[in-house]
Structure 1
């Protein structure tokens, strides 16, 4: 009798849990690939590497998300998403358990307001990012060489302590505003959240979508932590971003341009960095073409950068990628790409960085499975 009562109690508890968890979804993505890369530095011998990588097409992740209907048109939802390296099992995002996103959202007729660790609006990852795969056929990167980050400033991948608001859709328009009280809690040191002693950022972006057209414009500002920024004469950063896509059915075209001032770094792989800041601009164009049972992807980019306080430190770079994706099932696809970068540096920058990459060629092949 006692065992029966225990069994009934457990069944009731499980039934209650299932009812409460009915709107909770577990999901994830695993990306494995191989990379063959040839790198030629400004000085010294060229080097060729062959390795297995995780996330060369899409970052490997595991997460859970859920919603609850509060009534009167309002809902509350959450996302807890972990990033990891599939080839080693190591946690990503500096060891955070939910490094890709940890958010709580309240939504209704007023729009959506979210709190937590999020991807930046003027960025490539997360629920509210508007300048990733939506504006580039290779998003923030296929392998080390593909993607528009090769020709733009390097901002944030994800940001802590963020307040985010997105308006409802008005005739195809929506606006997203974002502010972080402290972008990276792991590196505050003696700084205090919400004070000038930690990095803070703000962004706003407006988007228009109609039929096959999408246009998005965004501004991002970064308040660098003091007194460190003052010691290197680094001013607060700003970027202006404009992108658009049009889907013709037989082809989808992409265009993305950015102008920026006073970032710490630019260009993902041939990284250009000056302590007192980097100014510059980048342009990225691309296309998707359905072919051979999959999608052929093409992209080309150009970037021009110089020191914010020393124009004799400079780099211009051109980057091109040709790729292909092929679906094996609704949840599994193969990808492959050939990538090329050529960077030209000023004499002064070369003298200070003799190991800077002048030319990089890379070939990648891999598989993504979503669940």
Structure 2
């Protein structure tokens, strides 16, 4: 009788999943990474660590979709991030920190509500400046990627609504708004949708054909008050241009950004000031099929200064090479090496003697998708 009950429960679950068109999926990414750092104070450090999500963020997700009689699709995505090295939840311990979204998809376009990846980022359906503009996306950990040489905004945002138009002659447009970007960091007494929390507005126009993709976007962040005024931090804005071109024998990538009043910039040798950071960055890369897999290379340059203190500066250059090899349809081996060199003004070195001047890294790992 117990076996029959279990069988009926399993059958019921399978039928329910089929009726709702529900899919379970996930990614496990684990790597060993060596890092060597030198800072402006003259000291150095070396570490070897097991790290999750170096190439692709480890995740587990549930998604489902229903098609209504008029052809309108209604769906959901619930996706968490976690560490395969520790088993802990990512994104500040959120249960569904990567995606918690309800969407409508129809002839009018694609509309979503909830927590999702930001437009100036590399995750989710509204991201316009991630893996499509760099062979290392936003970075394989601290190796490569354009976030090494541009501002640091939000990877994921809470309380968001986003919309992408249908494509006309290869062109579509996207707009995204958050009523409160990070609910875990609201100040005491802060209220979603009010000036007491950070709010984000971004928009992009994209063109795509079989070989070429070009996107231009603007992101603005309304800083939370009154703390931003106390720090002298104005509202942030960035102008973003990215592209890729597939020549057949190789795929080429380009990304550049000009920005003002971000709290920090440069993912690894982070340049951060309470009063904000201004600057620009450029990153180029290439991916070439070779040795049964793909060889990747990229180089970037960033130039930053304090929004209110222009004597506090950092110039940074980064270079990276990598290789991926598919062991099966679901499993991929990867390896990469990177170097980042940052030069600071004397004033900044005096302010932050532990700032990193040189960063060398090497990693290799496995990704398995299910």
Q: TM-score, normalised by structure 2?
A: 0.96
Q: 1:146 offset after TM fit, Å?
A: 1.8
Deviations 1:175-206 (A, max 9, x none): 11000000011111321000000000000011
Residues 1:192 and 2:191 are matched in the alignment: yes
Q: How far apart in 1 are the matches of 2:102 and 2:19?
A: 17
Contact 1:145 1:360 in 2 (8 A): no
Residue equivalent to 1:127 = 125
Counterpart CA distance in 1 for 2:88 and 2:230 is 35
For structure 2, the 5+ residue unaligned runs are none
Secondary structure class of the residue paired with 2:68: strand
Q: CA deviation at 1:147?
A: 1.1
The separation in 2 between residues aligned to 1:364 and 1:152, in whole angstroms, is: 23
Distance in 2 separating the partners of 1:28 and 1:205: 29
Q: Residues 249 and 288 of structure 2 are in contact (CA less than 8 Å); yes or no, is this contact kept in structure 1?
A: yes
Q: Distance in 2 between matches of 1:75 and 1:274?
A: 45
Does the CA-based 8 Å contact 1:35-1:143 persist in structure 2? no
Q: In 2, Cα distance between the equivalents of 1:61 and 1:202? A: 27
Change (3 A) 1:13 1:358: closer
Cα gap change, 1:12 to 1:239, in 2 (>3 Å): closer
Look up the match of 2:328: 329
Out of 297-306 and 45-54, give the one that drifted further.
45-54
What is the Cα deviation at residue 10 of structure 1? 5.6
Alpha-carbon distance in structure 2 between the residues aligned to 1:171 and 1:208: 8
Deviation string for 1:140-166 (max 9, x for gaps)?
111313211000000001000001011
2:357 maps to: 358
Q: Indicate if the aligned counterparts of 2:144 and 2:299 stay in contact, CA closer than 8 A.
A: no
Does the C-alpha gap of structure 1 residues 207 and 3 become closer, same or farther in structure 2, counting only changes over 3 Å? closer
CA distance in 2, matches of 1:5, 1:143: 48
Asked if 1 retains the 8 angstrom alpha-carbon contact of 2:215 and 2:242, the reply is: yes
Distance 2:139 2:77 in 1: 24
Instruction: Give unmatched runs, 5+ long, in structure 1.
Output: none
- Residue matched to 1:203: 202
146, 151, 154: which one pairs with 1:153?
A: 151
| Structure 2 counterpart of 1:90, from 88, 91, 94 | 88
Q: Which whole-Å CA distance do the structure 2 matches of 1:112 and 1:224 have between them?
A: 28
Partner of 1:280: 279
User: 1:359 & 1:171 partners in 2: Cα distance?
Assistant: 46
Residues 37-186 of structure 1 correspond to what in structure 2 (within 5 A)?
A: 37-186=35-184
CA RMSD of aligned residues (A): 1.8
Q: Deviations over 1:270-293 (max 9, x none)?
A: 000111110000000000000111
Q: C-alpha distance in 2, partners of 1:169/1:270?
A: 39
Count matched residues: 369
Conservation of the 8 A alpha-carbon contact between 1:74 and 1:108? yes
- Following TM superposition, by how much is the alpha carbon of 1:19 offset from its aligned partner in structure 2, in angstroms? 4.0
Q: What residue is the counterpart of 2:237 in the other structure?
A: 238
**TM-score for both structures, normalised by structure 1:** 0.96
Distance in 2 between the 1:268 and 1:20 partners?
44
Change (3 A) 1:7 1:193: closer
Contact 2:143 2:336 in 1 (8 A): no
